[in-house]
Amino acid sequence: MEFRIGNGYDVHALAPGLPMWLGGVQIDSPTGFVAHSDGDVAIHALCDALLGALALGDIGHLFPDSSAEWKGIDSKILLSKVVALVHEKGWRVGNADITIALQKPKLAPYIGSMRTCLSEILGIGTDAVSVKATTTERLGFVGREEGAEVWASVLILK
């Protein structure tokens, strides 16, 4: 059996009055992410981790923000396309581990739904999808509520 790991990182700025999507789930928040797509920074980091494991570049390369095709797109569709690529290359996803840094709102009530949503797209059990959330103790751009950052790690195998 062959194994590969991948990691992904993404940042999006926050602005008032925009919808906030994280891990495929809409979060009740007065602010949301500025983006060409729906701004789901957690899914973007996860896509980059999968593409990293495949050594196929990044989502900006695959889905350029200069293209009208991806404007306002549901990031779950982008993730489905990346997972299809994983399968096309003969790999399957082993597990995923995601850490979201966001000052507000508290994400604890949404973690279960995010794990369910992502596990369905990844085609693996919820027990193989970890989503963790942290604040940055009011430090840095995350602490000032200017944006969020997300790290994702994945293992793929064949």
- Cis peptide upstream of residue 105 (ω within 30 degrees of 0): yes
10/149 with CB nearer Mg ion: 10
Q: What is the Cα–Cα distance from 44 to 58, expressed in whole angstroms?
A: 9
Strands 3-16 and 25-27: unpaired
Query: Is residue 40 part of the contact set for Mg ion (CB under 5 A)?
Result: no
CB of 41 to Mg ion, least distance (A): 6
**Is residue 44 involved in binding Mg ion (CB under 5 A)?**
yes
Q: How far is CA 13 from CA 82, 99, 124, in A?
A: 24, 17, 30
The nearest distance, CB 10 to Mg ion, in angstroms, is 4
Closest distance between Mg ion and the C-beta of residue 12, in Å? 6
- Report which residue's Cβ sits closest to Mg ion: 44
Q: Is 10 in the site for Mg ion (CB under 5 A)?
A: yes
Question: In terms of CB distance, is 44 or 76 closer to Mg ion?
Answer: 44
Bridge partners of 133, per DSSP, are 100
> Of 13-21, 25-33, 40-48, 92-100, which part binds Mg ion (CB under 5 A)?
40-48
Return all residues near 157 (Cβ < 8 A) that are at least 6 apart: 1, 2, 3, 4, 91, 92, 94
Rule CB under 5 A: which residues touch Mg ion? Answer: 10, 44
